[in-house]
Every structure is written in structure tokens, then in C-alpha cells.
Amino acid sequence: MFVLLIVLSAVFICLRRRRKFTNLFRQPDIENEEDKNVGTLLFDLSTIGTATNNFSDTNKLGEGGFGSVYKGVLPNSQEIAVKRLSAGSKQGLLEFKNEVVFLAKLQHRNLVRLLGFCLEHEEMLLVYEFLYNTSLDKFLFDPMKNRLLDWGRRYNIIEGIARGLLYLHQDSPLKIIHRDLKTNNVLLDQYMNPKISDFGLAKLFDEDKTRGIASRIAGTYGYMAPEYAIHGHISTKSDVFSFGVLVLEIVTGRRITDFTGSGYAANLLSYAWKHWNAGKALHLMDRSLGDQYDRQEASRCIHMGLLCVQEDRTKRPSMELVVLMLSGHSVTVSTPSVPAYLVQGSATTEVDVDSGNRNSNPPNGESSYQCEEKSNSVSINDVTISEVGPR
């Protein structure tokens, strides 16, 4: 009798878990976006297990907040990357659903491609195209590998990320805010082309909505826009802020948090702002580049990055305007205003990148909050685009 109860209990638990997985794509917050496309992506566990050598450590590519990623090879010799989400995690379930539902519908050369998924024996597996060069942070912040990122590649990466975001915000079948754009969520293929990944925190918006309030604030410190991090207000301009941080990281080769506790600046945004105000924006350039970069493109990226990280979200450009700027179109853009997270008390400290010296006041007696960087402005003649509020 005791054994029978154990067996019945086990059957009940299995059925309940299977029902949980079955209902995963029937939850109302995605509103029937789980159409027939999702059903065609199903993999069986044995196939993935064989492909990854039963998830061996030698196949492990890395580990994230929701689980581990493994390299695998399918029977047809196709290489894949398999994300194995942590079992029993509510966040894991939400991430799984978002990834499958969104990526099943999204097709863009600058978004990672989902090949399929598996829900079997409590396993939650996502199968992606395999990208040879893993993530951007592995190159950008490595003192040896960053030399492989010459200026042409960096500019191409910035432009590709911008086009991917524009697709999510405006051109895709769904209107999506990514919410977790950062260097390790940008993957690189064998030609160093960027692909935005990790849609676990992504938020779906109705076509006629431009903003909302998140029920749960989640993301990565330094990349979250202040209105989202503090008040939960979310919009496409939240992603624009994260993109601006990324641009400044790519240009400088420094992490957003590199200056914490340094005495030079509170963070990369403050550091970049001081150089911009001092008329020395190009001193921000990654030293590994030497002088091998296009000065006009570099100035354009720094200007654009500072526009994207402005504290006032209504002043940040849309991704449509950003793509126009990067494509070399002549557009009228404003001078950047104060970036978010600027520490007021250190605003008058100037940092000289070349000498490492710090002066108590900005040059020429200018206020540290004046922005008169004429040489770094994007030149403007042919097309004028004005933005007075959120899209």
C-alpha cells in the first residue's frame, strides 16, 4: 500500500509538472502570440543530449543568471548553442516563454536566431544558432582580444545593434522593448557581425502604446535607464539609454563601472561628459586603436552616445534617428544635456586621459554643464529631424 501511494504521488507530480509546461504558452500576458510557429520548433531531449555530449563540462560555453549554455552538434553536423534553464525557477519559466514566443516571430540579421526548444523531463532547453565569437564583452574588455576590434569592426557592431533595436521597436511584427541590452547580450558571428540575444526580460507592447510601468524591475546595473531603475517606467527610450551606454563602452573600451571608486569619475557616463565639455571628446578613444580610426565617425558616435544617455528620456533620440546618424545622413541633432547618474559634486573635475592629471576647473573657465563642443557635432545640412517627445 505504501509503495502504491508513492507511485501514485509520483504520477500526480509528473502530470502536474507536464500541465505546468503545457500551460506555459497559454498565459494571458502574451495574448495568443504562441501561434503555430512555436509548435514547429520542438526538439526532443535525446537529440539535444547527444548533441551536447549529455551537457558535459567540456561543451559548456558559459553561465548566466537563468542557466548554462552549451555547444552542440546535430546529426546533420549543424553546430548549435543550447541554453539550459534552471529547473523550478519562476524567472526561468518566464524567460523561457519570452524567448520562444518572441524569437519564433522575429527574423532579423542582427538578432540571434532561435532554432528550437525542448520541454521534457523538467528540462527547459533553448536551441540557438551557434556564433563562433561568443559575446562582445569577451573581446572588448580583454587586453589582447580587443585589438581584433579595429575601428571598422566597432562601427559595424554599433550600427548592427542599432538596426536590431530599430527592428524591435518599430519594424517587427511585435513591438518589443528588450530591457537587458549589454555587451554580454550582444553575440558576434564569425565575421564579427553583432546579434542581439537574451530576450528573457523583453516586454511586449501593443502597437498604440509607447510606454508603461513594469511590474518587476529587472536588468543590469549601469545599463538601466534611471526612470526604469527608480520608478519602473519603461519605454523604447529605456533601450535607447542602454544602447548609449554600449556605444560609449565600444568607443572607449571601458566598462560602465570601470571608474567606480577611482576618484576620477563616478562612472563612464561622467567620464565621457567631462571630456565632451572640455572639448576633448576624442581623448576618450580606446588606446588600443592608436590613431587608426575615422575621426568624424568617432565624434559622431560619442555625440550620439551622450544623446542616448541623457537623464531626460524625452531628449533621447529614437532608434530611427540613431540609424540615420550612423548611416551618414545629414541630420539636425541637439547638443547633449546632462547624462543620467552624474555625480554633481565631481562635475568640475577634469580628467586628462593622456597625462592622468586632474584640474580643479574646466578649461577656459567654462561651466562643466555647458556643452559647446562644436567639433564633435554631427554636421547637418540636408535633412532636419526634430524630436520633442517620446515616440
Residue numbering of the annotated binding site: 83
Residue length, the chain?
Answer: 391
Read off the amino acid at residue 193.
N
Mapped onto helix, strand or coil, the DSSP state of residue 42 is strand
Read off the amino acid at residue 156.
N
Mapped onto helix, strand or coil, the DSSP state of residue 322 is helix
- How many alpha carbons lie under 13 Å from residue 71 in its C-beta half-sphere? 13
Q: Hey, what's the cell of 131?
A: 556564433
Which among 101, 160, 96 is positioned nearest to 123, based on CA atoms?
Answer: 96
Provide the annotated binding site for ATP.
83
Active site residues: 180
Taking residue 78's Cβ as centre, other Cβ atoms within 10 Å add up to 12
With cell 502597437, the residue in question is 207
Tell me, rounded to whole angstroms, the distance of Cα 32 from its chain centroid: 26
DSSP letters spanning 227-296: HHHHH-EEEHHHHHHHHHHHHHHHHH---TTTTTTSSS-SSHHHHHHHHHHTT-GGGGS-GGGTT-S-HH
Q: Hey, what's the cell of 215?
A: 511590474
Which among 232, 195, 189 is positioned nearest to 214, based on CA atoms?
Answer: 232
199 close to 146: Cβ distance less than 8 angstroms: no
351 close to 274: Cβ distance less than 8 angstroms: yes
User: Residue 352, class by beta-carbon neighbours within 10 Å (0-12 exposed, 13-18 middle, 19+ buried)?
Assistant: middle
List strand residue ranges (DSSP E) for 107-183, in order: 114-120, 123-129, 175-177
221 close to 257: Cβ distance less than 8 angstroms: yes
Planar angle of CA 268, 272, 278, nearest 5 degrees: 150
